[in-house]
Structure 1
Amino acid sequence: MPESLSPTRREVPTASHFGTYVAETDGRRILGLRPDPADPEPSSIGLGVPSTLDSPARLTAPYVRRGYLERGPGPAGGARGRDPYVRVDWDTALSLAASALRDTIAEHGNPAIFGGSYGWGSAGRFHHPQSQIHRFLNLLGGYTRSVESYSSAAMQVILRRVGGGYGAALASNPTWREIGEQRSLVLAFGGLPARNAQVNGGGIGRHTNLADQRWARAQGAEFVSISPLHDDVDDALEATRLPARPGTDVAIMLALAHELVTAGAHDQDFLRRCTVGWETFEAYLLGRTDGVPKTPAWAGPISGLPAADIAALARRMRGRRTVITTSYSLQRADHGEQAPWMALTLAAISGSLGLPGGGFGAALGALHQLGLEPSRFRPAALPQGRRGVDAFIPVARIADMLLHPGEPFRYDGAQLTYPDVRLVYWVGGNPFHHHQDLNRLVRAWQRPETVIVHEHFANALARHADIVFPAATWLERDDFAAGSADPFVSAMVRAAEPPPEVRTDHAILAGLAAELGIADEFTEGRTEAEWIEHLYAQTRAHATELGAELPTLAELREIGTVALPQPPPALAPYTALRDHADANRLHTPSGKIEIFSERIAGFGLPDCPGHPTWLEPVEWLGAPGAVTYPLHLISGQPDRRLHSQFDNGSHSRAGKVAGREPVLINPADAAARGIVDGAVVRLHNARGECLAGAVVSDRIRPGVVRLSTGAWYDPSGPGGLDVHGNANTLTPDRGTSALAQGPSAHSCLVEIEAYRGDPPPVTVFGPLPTAGPTS
């Protein structure tokens, strides 16, 4: 609970995607930040944020790229990322941005505007960048949008087709409590990384996920981690670790299914009543269609696991309540649709789907909320308005869109056309973090006529923009947080004043709305404080409907965090399907789980057939390319930050090695290359190259290296060596398949060598490169 320290020093509550904190403030500056003492297992990620507020990279005024200021809108021809910036006043920046928006709409129509944003910009219900920019652009008549997410695109699309929807799968997830009560066997393909349990969409009132996992283990649940990384599962779970080759999980699942079916241990009643296409898939599984039975002996050489270990795992599944879970990482790969589809199929075969503590775990361990009883309370959100444009792209196809306007592409069974985008407006999120093949993205990024961004810091997104608006951070704004799946509401009290010329995203867009004649529609006559009061009042009213009374906003700001009331639970979709398949149809053509999908088969996609199938990745350790690039790179969520957020903060930077992002490498691979612990190394392939700091450890499988995503992109020149360790200089920019078109970051081969000579300095944590005013 906040307390008064002195007339000028007090403690106030605040909240973020990585938890709740208490900030000590004098009203202008943050004097200290500590986790909320009520949080049983808080994350330290937020503790590094105050160090960024006055860091050299902080943006403290609007800036415009010099070439844009001199010549106006137009393709940049390589200048974005190379030009210096000119500091301008707010009137100039707003006028330039308003003119660019107005002219783009007049000359090319609203589909020529791409509204780039991502959901992780802030945990606040009002200061949510994605909601703010989408509301603004919808009031202007609409924009081209993206669909799905980089995290889960392939899973979202395939489950919509064969599993009743992504939401149905999440709602059917077993909880750790159920798993403990049933003493279940948990097969975690991709592991259950503890680092992921630090973060959650919309915030975390209390971190309890890891404690619930450990409780389940104490009750007798057993865990198996199928991952090349030792640390992809908490040591307290005493898990069996099977260090499979990356990208081979589908082959292992097929072999497990083969063993269950040939032993007669499959759930024939469930398969008959609740699924379609079993006979077609069974013929493939047993080798009747292609002459290749999917046995452990077949899967062993593919996966790098002993066939005996796979067979033994199948025996452990027989007659046992079992969970088959796949991490998000498995579907961010070539043919990423296959892993969740096959996991759902294996769960159906096993006899556990739809039963408490068993079945398909949709990305259990990928976020704090997954594996816990989900919140059913729906807090109020800023309305985004009516969409005026239907144009969209799959989220990971932005470089394709910019490079190939007007060209056709396949997505989810449809033939679509890339829109001709002339203006990109990005608020929240950083494409130079989450997009693949950054050298290709930089080339594509030169094509738009105008790029407008809101940013806190002079990161790569700001350094590749035309108009840069300086935005306040979550510690510099009032708000309240309530996650869509977290059962708490938390106050966010402004703990620091932003620099004098820094504004909130809402204030920036309100200024633009005034320039464009839509101010009244955008603000609805409310100040920011009144909007927050309005949304919180709606949230309180919803609680009242449920028979509970939330504190007033003023009271919440004193309390910090309170629990939300919960509507009565509904029967999980897969449980309802098991109970009565005809009465509880899923949202699929058959109303059942589609092990074989006639619709998908009818699309005729060679990279996504009609049932779960082992398809060799383009890049994996069994590919011909492994001769030249013999190491498989995996690039998951980092330990010390959320994505790329606040990489310039003290907590993230304390984890650097030789001032760069650490890369984990097995001792055998390091010795073969003359690499020692702590050395600067160069990772490279045909797409790009970057430097990193070596961490030599046997906690990763030989032949595999791990470089976390999110290090701020810091190229030595356009298309040049990234000196800081951004993994996406190396990852491929190709769709998972023509079905989902999701990202394939985890199908990536590289080589590593010790860096010779003095490595170039990291400069991205410094200020925006500037030039004097134009004449």
Structure 2
Amino acid sequence: MKRRSFLKGSVALGAASAIPNFALGAEANTALVKNGEVITGAHWGILKATVKDGKIVKSQAWKKTSNVPNPLQTAMDDLVYKARIKAPMVRKSYLENPDSPKPELRGKDEWVEVPYEEAIKLVAKELKKTREQKGMNSICAGSYAWQSSGALGMARTLLHRFMNMTGGFVGVTGDFSTGAAQVILPHVVGSSQVYEQQTVWPVVLENSKVVVLWGMNPIGTLRLSFTVSDEGSFKYFEKLRDSGKEIIIIDPLKTITTKFFEGKATHIRPTPNTDVAMMLAMANHLLKSGKYDKEFLSTYTVGFDKFEQYLLGKEDGVEKTPEWAEKICGIEAKVIKELAEKFFDNRTMIMAGWGMQRAHHGEQVHWMIVTLASMLGQIGLPGGGFGFSYHYANGGTPSCVGGVIKTINAGSVGIIKDGKYMGPANADGAKENAAQSWLSNTALMSYPVARNADALLNPGATLDDNGNKITYPDMDFIYWVGGNPLTQQQDTNKNVKAWRKPRTIVVNEIYWTPTAKMADIVFPVTSSYERNDISMTGDYTNMHIVPQKQVVEKQFGAKDDYQVFVDLCKAYADGLAEAYTEGGKTEMDWIKEFYETAANQVNANEALGIKMPSFEEWWNKNEPTEFSPTMESESYVTFADFREDPILNALGTPSGLIEIYSETIEKMGYDDCKAHPTWFEPIEWLGMKDKPARFHMISPHPNDRLHSQQNQTKLRDSYAVAGREPIFINEEDAKELGIKGGDLVRVFNARGQILAGAVVNDDTPRNVVKLCEGAWYDPNENGLCKNGSANVLTIDIPTSKLANGNISHTCLVNIEPYKPKEGEDITLTAFMPPKGAK
């Protein structure tokens, strides 16, 4: 993959430099279809929209790729018409006095509609004021989210481009999805792995004897990709199900994936947050039985001898036997031993999800999977080893060769002087700003994204982070786009306090989300279906180039994010808009340039046997261009080059080998992340003494939305219970508590309380409940979330000092039947506009 990525990047750069000059204003047909069908794309796939009288009446997949349904593709109309922000809005207290705007009223205050031009001038004025009074580190543009999948409409990049050119900003690192794994894995295997191609499915299906799905729900999570989904993996999971291979699912929950494999797989249900103890016991059994690959360990890894001392209890006095683990994870010692031997005796592919590392000490899970796979000695062999992205963006579907769409970039830090844009800070004549010469796409400073609330609440405090010290800045101006952090961040009540600290919060948003309601200034922006764009499909495959055609007119006066930032540039400084737009490029100019870059790559490679037409012809035809995999990509095996020659193909670790013991981490001296995989007791779990609550709450990715996206659509009708987010509770537990299916229940702990609708079945084991993340936060006057937002209940502390990821799956709660108190209002208002808005 490293070689392939390098070659792909080299081709892209070469082709970009060879792009001929062309007149701005492509003559492609941009007239809207009033009656008929339009092909476009979204995170959930290439879509075909049916339009009647200028309105969307139906949306579906462009073409069928498997027998696995994807309901996310059917709600385009609701994403265009429901819960929309219908005008630029300013919070009343902020409009009255921006210098003293009463931030404590955010989420409670009335809103006032203002003309678009007035809102633009207000944002530009207050941004300048903040920079002048408090400096660059007071400006936060840390947007992180599943924004638009298009190459131009990438809201986060457009924001960063604007903030960079106007002088810089504070950003964030990492993400909520893989916060722990993406930090620990470079120490262990030299790269993140979680966002890299996997050993491809044809190789797995041909060579693997045992396939383990550990903590993953691919039939749910593969409904989408960060770009446009190619939907390539469902057909392979169907083939796996029917292959006769031994399939083992390790997950506390009975997910839709478990049901998909029902009768074809063995389901093992450990206690939540105890997977590391189970893996350690498997490693201990392999060690003591002699069923481990000594040659692989000595040739391709470092530090096993030190880890061995820990396994045998010589480090801490506790041997990590299957009997020891049984008391922790709830899986019989006999089963642990049988699994360990089965994995060793057969070519085994361990496919692991990300949910396990979103837990206290989450770094240990993926480190331990790599260690266990190293003991099996199958890493780099066809169908053996591990993979951390089979459940995401169709990892394992063979990569295709063709053109690659480039995207708009985040620009460079610029200089504004006397109201004029002077150019990049590292340009000639800008030596006085040499200390602020930053590479493109970087912030003046950054902190881990999961520490958002801590950073806002504790300016000046110091954070240990992966061997470094970070001092939180004093942020007073937040500009957030393409995301919903009020629902995304753990411990919502703490997060609300944090969002009431800065003087100014600006949000570009399509809908009245909880985040929009907690802002001061809101710009209504277009959905992906109200603007034109272009994208690749497949985060790994690059299978298609998709025309993301505008389906309907822009609704309710909404502007494209690109237009908002161009207008802000005009208001902020002379000459800035021309630099931002690179000489006045329009939406279609950018799209044409992106297409022609890719087309030049394709047309220069005769071996592909494809000739891409002119942009105008391609755009007007409105069909995706599809590329094919190569023989090399169809036989790709992760770490095969490393296994063939660990010296010439060394990993990116200090030793060049797999580091079971990391001297780098050892030198950090952290008490919550040792130098080898370790079992740490979580801050809350079912095995602890003096539990603060009875049930372990798991808050996985929902099946019928993308985090909080689509919560307001018709899809909610298929899963809401008692008008709320459903919570799944075991039948025996429900009987003890007097809860029946369909009941309204209160779920609570010391951090907060929510309402949910009870679903009673055996999808969860005893003393475990499931409440999917992403429901829009909707508090009443007593702080009770009426819509069932899981993060009201979760804990906001880091995984460890190493990664500072989130621990959303480490959480205990109580649950009880609920009847409203006299006079208490529990009317759902999550999808309604706030006071003063239309």
Report TM bin, short chain: over 0.9
Q: Which residue of 2 aligns with 1:3?
A: none
Aligned 8 A contact 1:125 1:480 in 2: yes
User: CA 1:293 to 1:667, structure 2 compared with 1: closer, same or farther past 3 Å?
Assistant: same
Answering whether residue 591 of structure 2 is matched by residue 532 of structure 1, we say yes
Equivalent of residue 809 in structure 2, options 742, 746, 757: 746
* RMSD of equivalent CA atoms: 2.0
Superposition pairs of residues 411-430 of structure 1, within 5 angstroms: 411-430=465-484
Answering whether residue 830 of structure 2 is matched by residue 764 of structure 1, we say yes
C-alpha distance in 1, partners of 2:121/2:650?
Answer: 54
- 2:283 match: secondary structure: helix
Q: Which residue of 1 aligns with 2:29?
A: none
Superposition pairs of residues 573-592 of structure 1, within 5 angstroms: 574-592=639-657
Answering whether residue 552 of structure 2 is matched by residue 496 of structure 1, we say yes
C-alpha distance in 1, partners of 2:481/2:76?
Answer: 19
Q: Which residue of 2 aligns with 1:619?
A: 684
Aligned 8 A contact 2:747 2:754 in 1: yes
Once the two structures are superposed, residues 617-659 of structure 1 have per-residue CA deviations (whole angstroms, 9 ceiling, x without a partner) of 1111012353x31100111111111110121111134321111
Q: Which residue of 1 aligns with 2:346?
A: 320
Count matched residues.
Answer: 761
Superposition pairs of residues 424-503 of structure 1, within 5 angstroms: 424-483=478-537, 484-486=539-541, 487-503=543-559
Superposition pairs of residues 238-253 of structure 1, within 5 angstroms: 238-253=264-279
Q: Which residue of 2 aligns with 1:199?
A: 224
C-alpha distance in 2, partners of 1:587/1:545?
Answer: 33
- 1:384 match: secondary structure: coil
User: What is the TM-score when the length of structure 2 is the normalising length?
Assistant: 0.88
C-alpha distance in 1, partners of 2:528/2:53?
Answer: 15
Runs of 4+ in 1 over 6 A off after TM superposition: none
C-alpha distance in 1, partners of 2:305/2:144?
Answer: 41
User: CA 1:615 to 1:75, structure 2 compared with 1: closer, same or farther past 3 Å?
Assistant: farther
C-alpha distance in 1, partners of 2:601/2:758?
Answer: 52
C-alpha distance in 2, partners of 1:637/1:90?
Answer: 36
User: CA 1:234 to 1:669, structure 2 compared with 1: closer, same or farther past 3 Å?
Assistant: closer
Answering whether residue 66 of structure 2 is matched by residue 66 of structure 1, we say no
User: One-letter code of the match for 1:45?
Assistant: L
Superposition pairs of residues 214-233 of structure 1, within 5 angstroms: 214-231=238-255, 233=257
C-alpha distance in 2, partners of 1:514/1:307?
Answer: 68
Deviation at 1:771, TM superposition (A): 7.3
- 1:529 match: secondary structure: helix
- 2:710 match: secondary structure: coil
Equivalent of residue 95 in structure 1, options 113, 117, 121: 121
User: What is the TM-score when the length of structure 1 is the normalising length?
Assistant: 0.95
User: CA 1:231 to 1:16, structure 2 compared with 1: closer, same or farther past 3 Å?
Assistant: same
Gaps of 5+ in 2: 1-31, 414-437
Once the two structures are superposed, residues 252-274 of structure 1 have per-residue CA deviations (whole angstroms, 9 ceiling, x without a partner) of 11111112121211111111011
Deviation at 1:147, TM superposition (A): 0.7
C-alpha distance in 1, partners of 2:485/2:239?
Answer: 38
Aligned 8 A contact 2:197 2:396 in 1: no
Deviation at 1:549, TM superposition (A): 2.8
User: CA 1:752 to 1:452, structure 2 compared with 1: closer, same or farther past 3 Å?
Assistant: same
- 2:119 match: secondary structure: helix
User: CA 1:431 to 1:202, structure 2 compared with 1: closer, same or farther past 3 Å?
Assistant: same
User: CA 1:134 to 1:542, structure 2 compared with 1: closer, same or farther past 3 Å?
Assistant: farther
C-alpha distance in 2, partners of 1:677/1:69?
Answer: 47
Deviation at 1:54, TM superposition (A): 2.7
C-alpha distance in 2, partners of 1:343/1:232?
Answer: 24
Equivalent of residue 669 in structure 1, options 719, 727, 733: 733
Q: Which residue of 2 aligns with 1:512?
A: 568
Q: Which residue of 2 aligns with 1:604?
A: 669
Deviation at 1:557, TM superposition (A): 5.2
C-alpha distance in 2, partners of 1:100/1:161?
Answer: 42
Answering whether residue 190 of structure 2 is matched by residue 164 of structure 1, we say yes
Once the two structures are superposed, residues 40-94 of structure 1 have per-residue CA deviations (whole angstroms, 9 ceiling, x without a partner) of 3452113123124333x21111000001001114574421111110011011110
Deviation at 1:193, TM superposition (A): 3.6
C-alpha distance in 2, partners of 1:457/1:301?
Answer: 48
C-alpha distance in 1, partners of 2:667/2:75?
Answer: 52
Is 371-380 or 477-486 further displaced after alignment? 371-380
Deviation at 1:188, TM superposition (A): 2.3
C-alpha distance in 1, partners of 2:260/2:46?
Answer: 25
- 1:201 match: secondary structure: coil
User: One-letter code of the match for 2:240?
Assistant: A
User: One-letter code of the match for 2:408?
Assistant: L
Is 292-301 or 245-254 further displaced after alignment? 292-301
Deviation at 1:669, TM superposition (A): 1.2
Aligned 8 A contact 1:402 1:421 in 2: yes
Aligned 8 A contact 1:172 1:572 in 2: no
Q: Which residue of 2 aligns with 1:110?
A: 136
User: CA 1:645 to 1:733, structure 2 compared with 1: closer, same or farther past 3 Å?
Assistant: same
Q: Which residue of 2 aligns with 1:401?
A: 455
Equivalent of residue 187 in structure 1, options 203, 209, 212: 212
Aligned 8 A contact 2:189 2:659 in 1: yes
Q: Which residue of 1 aligns with 2:237?
A: 213
Is 61-70 or 750-759 further displaced after alignment? 750-759
